[in-house]
């Protein structure tokens, strides 16, 4: 684990709500975990752009380090810039968060040293080296290659959609993006087998996100943490087999893992160890499919509530693509599609936070933060600043014809040296899926469940997103209005 320079003055002096006696910090933490966006919006309103989860600190949500002075939330371009660009001060830790701390307890926790570590678990020089080794797998030429897989998998999922029946869009998008992820990552289409690596990875993600796994990390058969460790062991043994196969075959296949196996630094000769490969693949899968699936779900939801935008978008798609799947060249000729996605990712940001831990004492927004402080920079709240985006809760793709925000004002993929390595991959995938789906089907929002937000790492609709599947008949006004739930706090929707 990356070392941190602690000093004796480790108390946190950032304003925040005074915790109740004894249970107070736990109550604040639960409030954040239950609804990170709603809870912090209230905190920001009361205390300003730099706020602590509990006055006096003492909370720990994400940092796996033994000492955590507390948790701080910030928003706004200046603060985002400091957190995102000063990568020697703001360190990142593995996706397993606090569970990463358990790694020394038994042989069963050994996989925690690798899973979800990848780029999320390296800092400073090591991060730069690993990123350099990984970049070729995400270069344009390589993306063009993934485009074919994306089109083929989207086609296969669309072929299975049933007209006249409700469809759970979150499930559909998760399955589709999981298939794309497993195919492009290690050449295995998860759609072809229910026992595949993709399914194990999905269950790992599910188990790892259960509050019980994090609250009670005890390796007892009745607890989800036990299942989590078992799944991690299964994933590791499977991946070691896949890596051995690829090595035996020369590793020349066009998937990300094969490229990472082959990657060598020209100057230093550095290559990735097997454990590092395991870490990277786990992170790429975890970071790369739920994110895109939810961005797609939210965009389809927003289109279902904005019939004029949906109609204009279909006009554009039909005139450029004429019912066909997009090619890499055609994707460049769809400006409204680009703006719709940009605006959707602004207003319903699928990754709402950048989480970091300070590696040393530092100053942020006028406050001194001790080493080891957890800092969460709010992408969501910055995307909703009236000063940058007039009428911020309006879903208005047209605004992108005239605005050009900086990378610190608009950063759905973060910014700085740790900006999302898969941003271009994700945008290509989202465009392909929307272009193919909207030309073929119209999705009508079904007013069945509330649309509430949920999740800290990825924001998703808590109760799913059921929609009725119609052939594309342009009856966009059907299903508009009547949406209930706290999504209405984030975006203006028709009554």
Which residues make up the interface to ligand HEM (CB under 6 A)?
A: 92, 119-120, 131, 283-284, 287-288, 291-292, 295, 350-351, 354-355, 412-414, 418, 420-422, 425-426
Rounded Cα–Cα distance for residues 336 and 401 (Å):
10
| Residues 100 and 111: beta-carbon distance below 8 Å | no
Q: Shortest gap between Cβ of 20 and ligand HEM (angstroms)? A: 30
DSSP-assigned letters across all residues of 30-97: HHHHH-HHHHHHHHHHHH-SEEESSTT----SS--SS----EEEE-SHHHHHHHHH-TTTEE---TTG
Nearer to ligand HEM, 19 or 121 (CB): 121
Distances (CA, A) of 30 to 25, 60, 132: 9, 11, 38
Task: For ligand HEM, give the closer residue by CB, 55 or 428.
Answer: 428
| Minimal distance, residue 2 CB to ligand HEM, in Å | 13
- Residue 121 CB, shortest distance to ligand HEM, in Å, is 9
* Least distance in angstroms from the C-beta of 454 to ligand HEM: 16
SS3 call for 374: strand
Residue in the shown chain whose Cβ atom is closest to ligand HEM: 422
Contact 136, 317 (CB under 8 A): no
Closer Cβ to ligand HEM, 153 or 295, answer by number: 295
Residue closer to ligand HEM by CB (options 246, 418) is 418
User: With respect to ligand HEM, which residue has the nearer C-beta, 49 or 183?
Assistant: 183
Query: Counting every residue, how long is the chain?
Result: 495
* Minimum CB distance to ligand HEM smaller for 436 or for 456: 456
Tell me how far, at minimum, the Cβ of 173 lies from ligand HEM, in Å. 11
Residue closer to ligand HEM (CB basis): 108 or 131: 131
Q: Please give the DSSP secondary-structure letter assigned to residue 7.
A: -
Distance CA 416, CA 403 (A): 21
414: DSSP letter = -
Q: How far is the CB of 444 from ligand HEM (least distance, A)?
A: 24
Distances from the Cα of 13 to the Cα of 39, 40, 58, 71, angstroms: 20, 18, 11, 11
If you search the block for the tokens 């989860």, which residue do you land on? 53
Please answer whether residues 465 and 451 qualify as being in contact, where contact means their C-beta atoms are separated by less than 8 angstroms: yes
- Rounded to a whole number of angstroms, the minimum distance from the CB of residue 130 to ligand HEM is 8
């Amino acid at each position: 684990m990356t070392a941190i320079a602690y000093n004796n003055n480790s108390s946190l002096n950032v304003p925040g709500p005074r915790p109740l006696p004894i249970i107070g910090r736990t109550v604040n933490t639960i409030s954040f975990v239950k609804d990170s966006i709603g809870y912090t919006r209230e905190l920001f309103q009361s205390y300003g752009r730099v706020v602590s989860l509990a006055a006096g600190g003492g909370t720990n949500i994400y940092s796996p380090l033994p000492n955590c002075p507390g948790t701080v939330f910030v928003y706004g371009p200046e603060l985002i810039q400091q957190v995102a660009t000063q990568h020697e001060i703001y360190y990142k830790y593995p996706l397993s968060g606090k569970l990463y701390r358990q790694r020394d307890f038994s042989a069963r926790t050994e996989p925690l040293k690798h899973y979800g570590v990848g780029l999320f678990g390296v800092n400073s020089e090591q991060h730069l080296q690993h990123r350099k080794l990984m970049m070729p797998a995400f270069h344009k030429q390589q993306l063009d290659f993934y485009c074919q897989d994306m089109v083929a998998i989207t086609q296969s999922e669309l072929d299975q959609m049933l007209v006249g029946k409700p469809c759970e869009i979150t499930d559909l998008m998760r399955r589709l993006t999981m298939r794309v992820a497993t195919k492009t990552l290690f050449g295995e289409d998860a759609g072809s087998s229910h026992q595949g690596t993709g399914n194990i990875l999905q269950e790992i993600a599910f188990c790892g996100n259960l509050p019980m796994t994090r609250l009670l990390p005890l390796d007892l058969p009745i607890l989800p943490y036990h299942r989590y460790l078992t799944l991690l062991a299964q994933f590791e043994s499977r991946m070691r087999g896949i890596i051995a196969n690829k090595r035996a075959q020369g590793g020349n296949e066009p998937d990300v893992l094969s490229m990472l196996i082959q990657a060598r630094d020209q100057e230093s000769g550095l290559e990735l160890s097997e454990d590092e490969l395991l870490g990277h693949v786990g992170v790429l899968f975890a970071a790369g499919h739920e994110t895109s699936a939810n961005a797609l779900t939210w965009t389809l939801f927003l289109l279902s509530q904005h019939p004029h935008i949906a109609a204009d978008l279909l006009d554009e798609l039909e005139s450029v693509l004429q019912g066909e799947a997009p090619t890499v060249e055609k994707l460049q000729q769809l400006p409204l599609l680009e703006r719709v996605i940009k605006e959707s990712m602004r207003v319903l940001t699928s990754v709402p936070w950048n989480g970091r831990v300070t590696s040393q004492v530092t100053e942020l927004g006028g406050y001194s933060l001790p080493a080891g402080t957890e800092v969460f920079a709010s992408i969501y709240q910055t995307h909703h600043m009236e000063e940058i985006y007039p009428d911020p809760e309006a879903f208005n793709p047209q605004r992108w014809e005239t605005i050009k925000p900086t990378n610190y004002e608009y950063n759905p993929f973060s910014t700085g040296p740790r900006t999302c390595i898969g941003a271009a991959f994700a945008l290509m995938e989202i465009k392909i899926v929307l272009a193919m789906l909207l030309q073929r089907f119209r999705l009508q929002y079904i007013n069945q469940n509330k649309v509430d937000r949920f999740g800290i790492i990825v924001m998703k609709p808590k109760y799913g997103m059921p929609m009725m599947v119609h052939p594309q008949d342009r009856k966009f006004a059907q299903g508009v209005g009547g949406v209930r739930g706290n999504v209405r706090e984030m975006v203006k929707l028709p009554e």
